[in-house]
Amino acid sequence: MSKKNQTLGEFIIENQADFAYSSGELSRLINSIRLAAKVVNHEVNKAGLVDIIGAYGETNIQGEDQQKMDVYANETFIKTLTNREIVCGIASEENDDFITIEGHKKDHKNKYVVLMDPLDGSSNIDVNVSVGTIFSIYRRVTPVGTPVTKEDFLQAGNKQVAAGYIIYGTSTMLVYTTGNGVNGFTLNPALGSWYLSHPQMQFPETGTIYSINEGNYIHFPQGVKDYIKYCQQEKPEGPYTSRYIGSMVSDIHRNMIKGGIFIYPKCSQNSSGKLRLLYECNPMAFITEQANGKASDGFERILDIKPTELHQRVPFFCGSTKMVEKAEEFMTAKDR
C-alpha cells in the first residue's frame, strides 16, 4: 500500500507489478525523466539570475518563437533519455521530426518511445509564472531490433502505457500515471528527492472554475461562446470563476485539485485548434481520465483519435466530467 511521503523510487519499486509489460525498463524510464526534471527545475529557478530567459531567436516546427528555456529543456530531456539507452525513439514539440535512438551495440533493442512538450508555457518564465513539462510513453509497434518509424509515434492515446507532467511552480511536482490512477510527487530541493504528496489524485465530479483565453472570444465557435455565457450565469452555486494562467499544465493541475474545466477550442484563426494531440492533449487526457475526469475535442474522446501526423493539432476540452459533458452539449447543439 503506497504511503504518503514515501519517495518516488520506493513507490516505483512497490508498484512495479502494476506497470504494463513490467520488465524494469519503464521504471528506469520514469527515473530518467525525474532526473531530467530536477536539472530543468534547477535552471528554471535561476531565471533572472542567468541569461536563460527571453527568446532564443529561432522558431520551431509550429512557427512559434522559441524561448531559451524551450531549447534548454528540450536538450536536457533528449540527452538524459539518450545517454541512458532506455528508449528507441523520441519525438518533441520542438523538433521537426522524431529522433531514432540506437543502443551502444546499435541493436535497437529498447521497447519504448517518448513524446514530449519539454516546456509548456515557457514564455511565462519571464514573468515568474508556473511552467511545466509534459511526457507520453508508448510501447513501440514495429519489430524490436529495427529502427523506429513514424508508425511507432502515430498511435492513438488509448495505447499509452504512461504519461505525466512536471509543474515548476511554488513547489515542483511530478504527476504521472501508468494506468492505475494518478499520483503526485513533490521535490524536496534540499535533498533532491521526490516524495509522494498527492496520492490517488482525482478531479471533483464538477467544479466552478473555467479556464479559457477569453481574449479570443470573438473567434470561438458558437457552442463555446454559449458555454461561456452559461458559466457566467447565476446558479445555485453562483457564476463560475474564470481562471486562465496560459500554461496548460498549471491550469489543469489547479482544476484537478479544485474542480474545473480547461478549454482550448478551434477558432477562426486556428481551424484545427492550437494544442498538439501527441505532445499535449493525449498525455493530459490519459492523466485526466485516470483521475476520474473527461477529455474530448468537444465531440469525441481525445484518446480515441487516430493521429495522422506528428504535429497534429486538435481542439481540447478537459476537466471535471460534468463540466466537460455540459460543454459538449453546447458544442453538439451548435457546431456539429
Q: How many helices (H) and strands (E) does the chain have?
A: 8, 17
Which are the contacts of 11, defined by CB distance < 8 A and separation ≥ 6? 2, 183, 185, 196
**What are the grid coordinates assigned to 37, written together?**
526534471
Q: Is 121 annotated as a binding residue?
A: yes
Q: Is 300 annotated as a binding residue?
A: no
Q: Is 117 annotated as a binding residue?
A: yes
Region of residue 58 (left: phi > 0; alpha: psi -120 to 50; beta: else): beta
Q: How far apart are CA 271 and CA 62, in angstroms?
A: 15
Q: Is 187 annotated as a binding residue?
A: no
Q: Is 120 annotated as a binding residue?
A: yes
Q: How far apart are CA 278 and CA 111, in angstroms?
A: 18
Q: Are 160 and 134 within 8 A, CB to CB?
A: no
Q: Is 119 annotated as a binding residue?
A: yes
Q: How far apart are CA 335 and CA 328, in angstroms?
A: 10
Q: Is 122 annotated as a binding residue?
A: yes
Q: Is 93 annotated as a binding residue?
A: yes
Residue 233: exposure state from Cβ atoms within 10 A (0-12, 13-18, ≥19)? exposed
Q: Is 123 annotated as a binding residue?
A: yes
Give the residue numbers of the binding site: 93, 117, 119-123, 213, 244, 274, 280
Binding residues for substrate, by number, are: 120-123, 213, 244, 274
- Which parts are annotated binding residues for Mg(2+)? 93, 117, 119-120, 280
